[in-house]
Structure 1
Amino acid sequence: MSEADERPRRRQARGERRIAQLLQAAARVFCTLGYTASSTSAIAREAGVSPGTLYQFFPNKEAIAVELSTQLIQEMEATHGRVFTPENARLPLDRLIDAVTDPFIEFNAAHPAMLALIKGPDAPGKVTEDHDVLHAALLERVTELLAVRKPSLSNAERALVAQMSFATFKTGLDLVAQHEGERRSAYVRELKSMLYRYLAPYVGTEAVPENPVESDGSGDVAGSAAAAESGAPTGATAASGH
């Protein structure tokens, strides 16, 4: 390859590095100041570049927020593709909850800008719309997981349980994000305990074989509830703090 061919490639690589630098700076600024109070000047200053350099890549703060949100959503989609699997659905309930929630908790801890953008009262409409699509996709995956684990649940039951579980997790995740260290760990344990105690009567607590045989068509809610009352597995008991 000639030197003339290499030059455009080097310029493209430098541009990609600069964009990544600006997005990382924007994430820090959004988390510190919130989206509303943030500015392109603050982002450029955080990135260590001039405002003119920033404007070579982004026309305004909204464009930066949209690009940052798009990248984070792509990473989140890759995460939920790894956790909502039939194999995880059949795990003992405490391990299932760990397998599904831990990656999302870790993701949000590593990328607090996600919540900072969503909670901004004047977040760009594109950001809000994309997150609504993401949430709908996540809710659908939770519903599919319930179908694998407890096929006898009716469509209406699955939808209701999925919505309640997802809403509980989102609310708990907000609390988790507000704390650090042991306090954060305590909220994580309580969140998992809430999910365990809510889900146990519907989907049972033990591992599920690939072709479960159920005693009736009701979902065996009463039997599962009795099992939950008799005591949770070690992992979930530890999660509940009791």
Structure 2
Amino acid sequence: MTGTTVPRRRQARGELRMAQILDASAVVFARAGYEKATTVAIAAEAGISPGSLYQFFANKEALAQALADRFVTQLRAAHQEAFDEAHFTGVPLDALLDRMVDPIVAFNVANPGFKALFARPDMPAGLADAARPIQSALLTRTEAMIGARAPGLPAAERSRTARVAIQIFQAMVPLVVAAEGAERAALVRELKRALHGYLAADIA
């Protein structure tokens, strides 16, 4: 056994424990709200003692910031996968919607606490602001997709179409996340059908 093996194992265990604590934080923040959530409740959700939690995170604020950073990183990756500019043109609208909708739906299904956490009025402004640049980028990328598919569409109409399409998506996401199995798959199909019906006139 080399001298570096034990530290690496400890590091791997530490990273796993931090991930477990952040998973638990997402559950507790979404369930109780930021103000009412406690590190004791988060530790209990993670199945560890509060003392073990404090080995990794100094307080609730540090937990919330780390969770916000993780959500933003994962959401950015989902957006990058969804908005691959190589697929903006030359594919049917149905195929384009599959490529755009599926990664972002998968993110929301994997992180059910995301919207519950960041949409809560008791969330500190600094943390709530963390996701705003990503949401702004979503609008920009949606506008770019519409512009690529319909280059003659005026800029104001392109922006309006993008904003409405995003609202349709966001309105359906809670239904998709709350469902399971065949019903979730059916709701994803309905989401794509709604987007197709709205977008087809401009970008088919």
**Common fold, TM-score beyond 0.5?**
yes
Deviation at 1:183, TM superposition (A): 3.4
Deviations 1:119-176 (A, max 9, x none): 3221232321011111001111111111211111121121111111111111111222
Deviation (angstroms), 1:6:
6.1
2:184 is matched with 184
Tell me what 2:159 maps to.
159
What is the CA distance between 1:2 and its match in structure 2?
7.1
Q: Which residue of 1 aligns with 2:72?
A: 73
For residue 58 of structure 1, give the secondary structure of its aligned residue in structure 2: coil
* Matching residue's letter, 1:18: R
Shift of 1:109: 0.7
Counterpart check, 1:17 vs 2:4 = no
Asked whether 1:203 is paired with 2:203, we answer yes
Equivalent position of 1:88 in the other structure? 87
- Distance (whole Å) between structure 1 residues aligned to residue 109 and residue 148 of structure 2: 29
1:91-130 maps to which residues of 2 (within 5 A)?
Answer: 91-130=91-130
User: Residue 41 of structure 1 aligns with which residue?
Assistant: 40
Q: Aligned-residue CA RMSD in angstroms? A: 2.2
Amino acid across the alignment from 1:136: S
CA separation in 2, counterparts of 1:83 and 1:156?
23
Structure 1 unmatched ranges of 5 or more: 205-242
Say if 1:66 and 1:124, in contact at 8 Å, map to a contact too: no
Matched, 1:53 2:52: yes
Structure 2: runs of 5+ lacking an equivalent: none
C-alpha contact (below 8 Å) 2:39/2:50 kept by paired residues? yes
In our comparison, the structure showing a higher alpha carbon Rg is 1
Q: By how many angstroms is 1:196 displaced?
A: 0.7
- C-alpha distance in structure 2 between counterparts of 1:101 and 1:35, whole Å: 29
Q: Deviations over 1:58-101 (max 9, x none)?
A: 22223212211211211111121122123322221111111101
Structure 2 CA distance, aligned partners of 1:168 and 1:10?
A: 46
Where 1:28 maps in the other structure, the secondary structure is helix
CA distances 1:28-66 after superposition (whole Å, capped 9, x unpaired) = 333444444432111111222211121222222232122
Distance in 1 between residues matched to 2:53 and 2:33, nearest whole Å: 19
**CA positional deviation for 1:21:** 2.1
- Give CA deviations for 1:173-208 in whole Å, capped at 9, x if unaligned: 12222322343333322221211111011112xxxx
TM-score (norm: length of structure 2): 0.88
Question: Quick check: 2:75–2:107 contact (8 Å CA) kept in 1?
Answer: yes
> TM-score, normalised on structure 1?
0.75
Conserved? CA contact 2:24–2:46, under 8 Å: yes
Distance 1:37 1:180, change over 3 A: farther
Q: Partners in 2 of 1:63 and 1:132 — Cα distance?
A: 19
